[in-house]
Amino acid sequence: TKCVHLSPVSLSEVTATSRHYVDRLFDPDPQKVLQGVIDMKNAVIGNNKQKANLIVLGAVPRLLYLLQQGSSSSELRAECAVVLGSLAMGTENNIKSLVDCHIIPALLQGLLCPDLIFIEACLRCLRTVFISPVTPVQLLYTDPTVIPHLMSLLCRSQRTQEYITQIFSHCCKTPEHQTVLFNHGAIQNIAPLLISPSYKVRMQALKCFSVLAYENTQVSMTLVNVLVDEELLSQVFVRMMQRDQPIDMQLTAAKCLTYMCRAGAIRTDDSCIVLKTLPCLVRMCSKERLLEERVEGAETLAYLMEPDVELQRIASVTDHLVAMLADYFKYPSSVSAITDIKRLDHDLKHAHELRQAAFKLYASLGSNDEDIRKKITETENMMDRIVSGLSESSVKVRLAAVRCLHSLSRSVQQLRTSFHDHAVWKPLMKLLQNAPDEVLVMASSTLCNLLLEFSPSKEPILESGVIELLCSLTQSDSPALRVNGIWALMNMAFQADQKVKGEIVRALGTEQLFRLLSDPDSNVLMKTLGLLRNLLSTRPHIDQVMSSHGKQIMQAVTLILEGEHSIEVKEQTLCILANIADGNTAKELIMTNDDILQKIKYYMAHSNVKLQLAATFCISNLIWNEEDGSQERQDKLRELGFVDILHKLTQASDPNLCDRSDTATHTSLPLSFSFSLHKTDAHKHAHCVVGY
């Protein structure tokens, strides 16, 4: 009972002292108010409890009132801003309360005052508020006069420079923000700060450039031409990456150059990228760096070299990077668990981030070069790590792991060996059952590659009931998922036996198949046509499919040939016709359809050689000598004037076409012509998958 009795007393005592501070703000004597604010300032420094009390007791509106009053002395106004800045330094709840009291517009208004000390106090408080994750950054852009005014304040003092650039770098989150800042001369205004005598100013200015340049071509293209004290900005960044500079500065400068490079403003073979930025980022991945730095370094490096195989090759031999990354998986280390709880906590917090960063970097490293992929898979326990990464609780790690797996799955050799040995398809299938869309996209992409005909994983995947899953993907709202679903089905259908093909058709349903043939996404359409072609291969299959779905297929083909489609789509469609023409009974569906025959004739005279070639294949199959009824078909086609066209084509400039039409006129086509054509084309698809 003693305790119960005591605590309300002490609480009310605390509130009483806090109350006294607030009361003094209402004193009629301005001198006493000033003294009250100063005392309050000294009372709240480093005292979160006191800060919370004062906020609860309503100090903030009063301070804001005093700060905005024209009658207040400039000293009082400045002290008010200082106290508010101190309150903002507390907890996130404090920030929320301050923002709710409309502190931001009040402080922004305060910046119009000429008094520098007051401006600095306002900016300091604004900085603290804006760098908090709970503050909506949009508040900076509500009033369009704010950004230009902040730009004009940059020349006032080192403090205004530091605070304003810090606000900018935290509040530039979207391309729109980048454009607003850019349009108000951010680059010209901030560039000179890169050589400021103050480290803090240099650092914040640098951070500004990194957020401004990120995925922004306009900013990046402008940056490369900027001179700072007669030196190119890229050279200034290079100097900031020197090894004796603080790590934070090296890393941020490397980010700036990375973003400029990715935006196309600096060539990937520029020495400042190859000899400076890339090695700097590799250094950031080393064991000597802090865990946070290693994460950022690896992510930035992955981003830098993603599109460039030469950079990937260089990075793969720089400072044993591939082996260095293996260390990212060793957190929390067994040693730290025993010796140091704090360290363990730190390790645990960063373990996920480290793993996902390493997976990302491996994915980027291995996206093109077969030797690098080999090197990665040969790294200690690499495949096991990926496999366990696929089932981690953190979505970020799962995504990165599957990205890595996808990158490695582009290797025929790896698909045949390590992928099969580690049965990666199992966790992959599990991942596909229930995952966010972005993970699904990557996972299904990887699955496409695992379903290639030479992949030993194809069989077990088929047995695991993947068809239903893929069919459901084709119904997704996301075009990427639809593409991957149909793509995987297409790969699966390639050279598959009748049973699998039947299952695909059954599971997908003809309705869905034809819906996909009118999909707005041309990629989906292409892959659906590819699937159709793979289903329509080998004579018995062709006849079987056509006998059950002939009518719809012919309709769909007609529609596509009539519609506005790319050359590739039309070529693919003509190839389907060529396959149909190879069937025994199926060819009649063409021979009896004058509309289609006219279309084939039209494409034989098309200006595009590929389309001419595909149409000619189709005719060749129809007039093939050794089959029943070939004479009748030849007669009919002669009637329709095909022979003249073929004769014309024999004089064509394209040797391929010339050859085909030649064989067609002499009706001595190679055996199973459609099959071989089909096969090569399917391979083209297979490699498309690999290169995706």
Partner 1 sequence: MDAMAELGAGSLLLGDPAFNYQEHELNERLKRLYPAVNEDETPLPRSWSPKDKYSYIGLSQNNLRVHYKGHGKNHKDAASVRATHPIPAACGIYYFEVKIVSKGLDFLSSLLPLSPILGWDKHSYGYHGDDGHSFCSSGTGQPYGPTFTTGDVIGCCVNLINNTCFYTKNGISLGVAFTDLPPNLYPTVGLQTPGEIVDANFGQQPFVFDIEDYMSEWRAKIHGMIARFPIGERLGEWQAVLQNMVSTYLVHHGYCATATAFARATETLIQEDQTSIKNRQRIQKLVLAGRVGEAIEATQHLYPGLLEHNPNLLFMLKCRQFVEMVNGTDSEVRCFSVRSPKSQDSYPGSPSLSPRHGATNPNLHSAGADSPTCSNGVTPPNKNKSHNKYPGISSASSSSSSSPSSVNYSESNSTDSTKSQPHSGTSNQEETRCVASDSEMEIEAEHYTNGVAENPSARIMNGTYKHQEILQAQDISLEDSCASRQLCGGNQAATERMIQFGRELQGLNEQLCREYGKNVTHKKMLQDAFSLLAYSDPWNCPVGQQLDPMQRENICSALNSAILESQNLPKQPPLMLALGQATECVQLMARVRSGSCSFARVDNFLH
**Residue 320 found at the interface with partner 1 (CB under 8 A):** yes
**Residue 319 found at the interface with partner 1 (CB under 8 A):** yes
Residue 509-538 contact track with partner 1, rule CB under 8 A, x = bound: ------------------------------
Q: How far is the CB of 313 from partner 1 (least distance, A)?
A: 8
**Residue 317 found at the interface with partner 1 (CB under 8 A):** yes
Residue 344 and residue 321 in contact, taking contact as beta carbons nearer than 8 Å: no
Structure tokens at 516: 């996909």
- Whichever of 241 and 473 has its CB closer to partner 1, that residue is 241
- Whichever of 5 and 243 has its CB closer to partner 1, that residue is 243
- Whichever of 166 and 268 has its CB closer to partner 1, that residue is 268
The single-letter code of the amino acid at 280 is C
| R_g (Cα) of the chain, nearest Å | 34
Q: How far is the CB of 622 from partner 1 (least distance, A)?
A: 55
Q: How far is the CB of 244 from partner 1 (least distance, A)?
A: 4
Rounded to an integer, what is the distance from CA 126 to the centroid of its chain?
32
Q: How far is the CB of 54 from partner 1 (least distance, A)?
A: 39
- Whichever of 62 and 283 has its CB closer to partner 1, that residue is 283
Structure tokens at 447: 């699955």
State the sign of the Cα–Cα–Cα–Cα dihedral 64, 66, 71, 73.
Answer: negative
Q: Interface residues for partner 1 in 182-221 (CB under 8 A)?
A: none
What is the distance between the alpha carbons of residues 237 and 215, in angstroms, rounded to a whole number? 18
- Whichever of 288 and 511 has its CB closer to partner 1, that residue is 288
Q: Which of 2, 5, 243, 342 binds partner 1 (CB under 8 A)?
A: 243
Q: How far is the CB of 546 from partner 1 (least distance, A)?
A: 55
What is the distance between the alpha carbons of residues 441 and 482, in angstroms, rounded to a whole number? 9
Q: How far is the CB of 418 from partner 1 (least distance, A)?
A: 18
Residue 431-470 contact track with partner 1, rule CB under 8 A, x = bound: ----------------------------------------
Q: How far is the CB of 319 from partner 1 (least distance, A)?
A: 4
The three-point CA angle 239-243-245 to 5° equals 65
DSSP conformation class of 222: H
- Whichever of 199 and 602 has its CB closer to partner 1, that residue is 199
Structure tokens at 471: 């069919």
Overall residue count recorded for the chain in this entry = 692
**Residue 309 found at the interface with partner 1 (CB under 8 A):** no
What is the distance between the alpha carbons of residues 528 and 178, in angstroms, rounded to a whole number? 40
Scored b (16 or more CB within 10 A) or e, 146-169 reads: bbeebbebbeebebbbbbbbbbbb
Stretch that binds partner 1, among 58-66, 311-319, 573-581, 591-599 (CB under 8 A): 311-319
Q: How many residues bind partner 1 (CB under 8 A)?
A: 16
Q: How far is the CB of 254 from partner 1 (least distance, A)?
A: 13
Q: How far is the CB of 301 from partner 1 (least distance, A)?
A: 14
Q: How far is the CB of 684 from partner 1 (least distance, A)?
A: 32
Q: Which of 95, 314, 545, 689 binds partner 1 (CB under 8 A)?
A: 314
- Whichever of 251 and 600 has its CB closer to partner 1, that residue is 251
Q: How far is the CB of 498 from partner 1 (least distance, A)?
A: 48
What is the distance between the alpha carbons of residues 691 and 335, in angstroms, rounded to a whole number? 42
Residue 322-351 contact track with partner 1, rule CB under 8 A, x = bound: --x---------------------------
The closest alpha carbon to 37, from 86, 71, 101, 105, belongs to 86
What is the distance between the alpha carbons of residues 425 and 430, in angstroms, rounded to a whole number? 8
- Whichever of 316 and 409 has its CB closer to partner 1, that residue is 316
Q: Interface residues for partner 1 in 249-288 (CB under 8 A)?
A: 271, 274-276, 278-279
What is the distance between the alpha carbons of residues 65 and 106, in angstroms, rounded to a whole number? 9
The closest alpha carbon to 186, from 215, 211, 158, belongs to 211
What is the distance between the alpha carbons of residues 66 and 574, in angstroms, rounded to a whole number? 79
* Cis before 136 (ω within 30): no
**Residue 244 found at the interface with partner 1 (CB under 8 A):** yes
- Whichever of 193 and 372 has its CB closer to partner 1, that residue is 372
The single-letter code of the amino acid at 249 is M
Q: How far is the CB of 280 from partner 1 (least distance, A)?
A: 10
What is the distance between the alpha carbons of residues 553 and 573, in angstroms, rounded to a whole number? 10
- Whichever of 246 and 540 has its CB closer to partner 1, that residue is 246
Number of H helices, E strands in the chain: 45, 2
Contacts of 262 (CB under 8 A, 6+ apart): 215, 303, 304, 306, 307
- Whichever of 254 and 442 has its CB closer to partner 1, that residue is 254
**Residues β-bridged to residue 228:** 231
What is the distance between the alpha carbons of residues 404 and 454, in angstroms, rounded to a whole number? 21
* Binding residues for partner 1 (CB under 8 A): 242-244, 271, 274-276, 278-279, 314, 317-321, 324
